[in-house]
Chains A and B, each alone.
Chain A
Amino acid sequence: MEPDRTRRRSPLEWFQALDRRIVYLLFFVFVVGAHFVPLYWPVTPAKHTRDLFNTVEALPLDKAVVVDSDWWLGIRAESEGQLRALFHHVMRRGLKLVIISWVWGPEAQKFAYDFAADVAKDYGYVYGKDWVELSAMNKVGGAELASFARDIHGFVKTDVFGTSLDDKEKLPMMANTRNIYDIGLVVSFSYGFDTNWIGFIQGVYGTPFGVATSAIESSTAYPFIEARQICGMMASAPGAAEYEQLLKLPANKRYARQPVNVLSLASVYVLFGILLSNLAYLRSLRKKR
């Protein structure tokens, strides 16, 4: 039987038949528009964010913090705010900072350096004396972490500029940072997180291990948090915004604030869409019956 084309469609029917391209376009326009809405939603730090904050807060000043920069440019929206927030905390506390990166992640190496150098200006941190970025390492299933833990100088050899880690004039900080016992905390910044840090470092030496992940992978961290293998987590941009809140950073230093605001508004759009499409679907089912 031919459908009756003369019949006027109800708004819900019209909505159900809406071209997906229009939905995408409206979403794009909505997200662009949300950037100009000066509405900031309240941020309440989650327990795992507070745990990471408290771990950094309790670290002794003679221990260094290792930041594992293992992300890719596609998740810069999540990682930049997280990295900057942790750098602020480490430098505010006056802790030594060691950044490590990997051969196949040159962008993570470059941007981690840039962000740390930018935050360092606020605290008068000097490269080589207060913080160092090591040359890229090669991932080989955890063996590299075992070697790193035993002898940083012997395994990594140089910093990102090719300076020997034994050079006490250019990198005086590294004279007292030789193995895992000189490190108070490892924080992995990545899309997911490398469980080898637990298998070869946290589980073996007991060094606290924190993570800063994308939202997708944050769910996989909960069993490790429950088992206290991970001491705390910054989950995606909201996690970074929570950390910034704990640090009480001024508005111009809060990189995660605007994305989280836009994300909240975008969620309203999506929830509205889900609600309407489900209503339309239920109505169509009733009509069929």
Chain B
Amino acid sequence: MNDKKVIYLVVAAAVVAALIAGFLVQWSRVKGNPDEDLTKRFGAWAAAICVFAVFSYLYSENAFYRLFEHALLGFGLGMGTALTIQEVLIDKWWKPVTVAVKAFYAGTQTGQSYYDILLILAALFGLLLYFQYSKKYLWLSRITIGITVGMGAGLAIKGTAVTTLPQITSTFKMFFVSSELAPSLDVGGRALYMVESFLLLLVVCCVLYYFFFSFRRESAIAKAPANLGRFFLMISFGAFFGNTFMTRVVLLIERIQFLLHDWLMVQ
């Protein structure tokens, strides 16, 4: 074992010893507090270690970070599988089907039983997907894929039409608003509305023009709206970036609040 490895091991042992000592000291202080229990404290310490492991990436890529990254991926995948089995396959398929089968067997079926028994067909359709592994019967899996894609396309067309069309109509604004049309607005309010309407039209036209590549823009007049469109896009990207920064900092703030309040119990 070389010197570097010995140093790493000594440092790791010291950190583990410090963590255990810290945990025991904190536990001896909060013991007896009705709001605290060993599981909660242990959870807070485990979470704090995870936070530091992930933050250690900011210093450099390291084995400690990778260990926790892989653990997170593993936990995520495991949890996803467990949730799919429990909440989808068991709760939404197995339970209703078994209840329906029992009802039919006992002769006590209701309207719901007829619906639930049809879920067996859903499982059969789902199982057809596994014919992807057979060259001979591959075509069977395409039935399920076709149904899924068809349903998705139908829903998407309906959803998109209802979602997008009102946005197109909302870009049609009135430039001149009289007091009869907007009695709740004073002169200043009406002027502001007109400026906003004009700005909206200008931005929509310039940005659309920027993405219009059907002819070469050679003269200064032809280039000007495109440049203006790019300028407006930059403003909106700046706003996006500002919001991105805000979310990232809020995430950091939440973790620091966790470390201060939940882990170190600083009030």
Residue positions of A touching B, CB distance < 8 A:
21, 24, 28, 31-32, 35, 74-78, 103-104, 106, 135-136, 138, 141-143, 195-196, 198-200, 203-204, 214-219, 223-224, 226-229, 235-238, 258-259, 262-263, 266-267, 270
Shortest Cβ distance from residue B89 to the other chain A in the assembled complex, whole angstroms: 11
Chain A residues within 8 Å of B249, by CB? 31, 263, 266-267, 270
Residue pair B162, A263 in contact (C-beta under 8 Å): no
Question: Can you list, as one digit per residue, whether each of B53-92 has a CB less than 8 Å from chain A (1) or not (0)?
Answer: 0010011000000000000000000011001100110011
Residue of A whose beta carbon sits closest to that of B237: A219
Contact of A35 among B239, B244, B260 (CB under 8 A): B260
Residue pair A141, B162 in contact (C-beta under 8 Å): no
Complex formed: what's the CA distance from A238 to B246 in Å?
A: 10
Residue of A whose beta carbon sits closest to that of B165: A203
Residue pair B250, A31 in contact (C-beta under 8 Å): no
Residue pair A227, B170 in contact (C-beta under 8 Å): yes
Residue pair B243, A203 in contact (C-beta under 8 Å): no
Complex formed: what's the CA distance from A223 to B203 in Å?
A: 13
A229-B257 contact, Cβ under 8 Å, with A103-B88, A142-B159: no
Q: Which of B108-162 contact A (CB under 8 A)?
A: 151-152, 155-156, 158-162
Main secondary structure of the interface of A (DSSP, over half): helix
Complex formed: what's the CA distance from A219 to B160 in Å?
A: 19
Residue pair A219, B251 in contact (C-beta under 8 Å): no
Contact of B156 among A28, A141, A236 (CB under 8 A): A141
Contact of A216 among B83, B92, B244 (CB under 8 A): B244
Contact residues on B (Cβ < 8 Å of other chain), bracket: 35 or more
Contact of A214 among B91, B163, B240, B247 (CB under 8 A): B247
Asked whether any CB of chain A lies closer than 8 Å to the CB of B214, the reply is no
Contact of A218 among B151, B156, B166, B243 (CB under 8 A): B243
Shortest Cβ distance from residue A25 to the other chain B in the assembled complex, whole angstroms: 8
Residue pair A21, B166 in contact (C-beta under 8 Å): no
Chain B residues within 8 Å of A196, by CB? 159
Complex formed: what's the CA distance from A218 to B256 in Å?
A: 24
Residue pair A199, B163 in contact (C-beta under 8 Å): yes
Residue pair B163, A74 in contact (C-beta under 8 Å): no
Residue of A whose beta carbon sits closest to that of B245: A270
Shortest Cβ distance from residue A179 to the other chain B in the assembled complex, whole angstroms: 17
Residue pair B254, A32 in contact (C-beta under 8 Å): no
Shortest Cβ distance from residue B196 to the other chain A in the assembled complex, whole angstroms: 10
A-B contact pairs, 29 of them (CB 8 A): A28-B256, A74-B251, A76-B254, A77-B257, A78-B247, A103-B83, A104-B80, A106-B79, A135-B91, A141-B151, A141-B156, A142-B158, A143-B151, A143-B155, A198-B159, A198-B163, A199-B159, A204-B162, A214-B247, A214-B250, A216-B246, A219-B240, A227-B167, A229-B166, A236-B243, A258-B257, A263-B250, A266-B253, A270-B249
Residue of B whose beta carbon sits closest to that of A34: B253
Given contacts A106-B79, A219-B239, A236-B246, 16 further A-B contacts (CB under 8 A): A77-B250, A103-B84, A103-B88, A195-B163, A198-B159, A198-B162, A199-B161, A200-B159, A216-B244, A224-B167, A226-B167, A226-B170, A237-B250, A259-B254, A263-B249, A270-B245
Residue pair A229, B163 in contact (C-beta under 8 Å): yes
Chain A residues within 8 Å of B169, by CB? 227
Residue pair A31, B256 in contact (C-beta under 8 Å): yes
A216-B254 contact, Cβ under 8 Å, with A199-B159, A203-B162, A227-B166: no
Complex formed: what's the CA distance from A92 to B158 in Å?
A: 37
Shortest Cβ distance from residue B177 to the other chain A in the assembled complex, whole angstroms: 16
Residue pair B256, A35 in contact (C-beta under 8 Å): yes
Q: Which of B149-191 contact A (CB under 8 A)?
A: 151-152, 155-156, 158-163, 166-167, 169-170
Complex formed: what's the CA distance from A203 to B170 in Å?
A: 14
Complex formed: what's the CA distance from A35 to B255 in Å?
A: 12
Asked whether any CB of chain A lies closer than 8 Å to the CB of B224, the reply is no
Shortest Cβ distance from residue A219 to the other chain B in the assembled complex, whole angstroms: 5
Residue pair A203, B166 in contact (C-beta under 8 Å): yes
Complex formed: what's the CA distance from A276 to B256 in Å?
A: 26
Residue from the set B162, B236, B260 with the largest chain A CB neighbour count within 10 Å: B162
Shortest Cβ distance from residue A190 to the other chain B in the assembled complex, whole angstroms: 13
- A-B CB proximity, top 7 nearest: A199-B159, A77-B254, A203-B162, A227-B170, A215-B246, A215-B243, A215-B247
Chain A residues within 8 Å of B58, by CB? 21, 24
Asked whether any CB of chain A lies closer than 8 Å to the CB of B252, the reply is yes
A215-B250 contact, Cβ under 8 Å, with A35-B257, A138-B92, A259-B257: yes
Complex formed: what's the CA distance from A202 to B185 in Å?
A: 28
Complex formed: what's the CA distance from A135 to B83 in Å?
A: 13
Residue from the set B170, B244, B245, B254 with the largest chain A CB neighbour count within 10 Å: B254
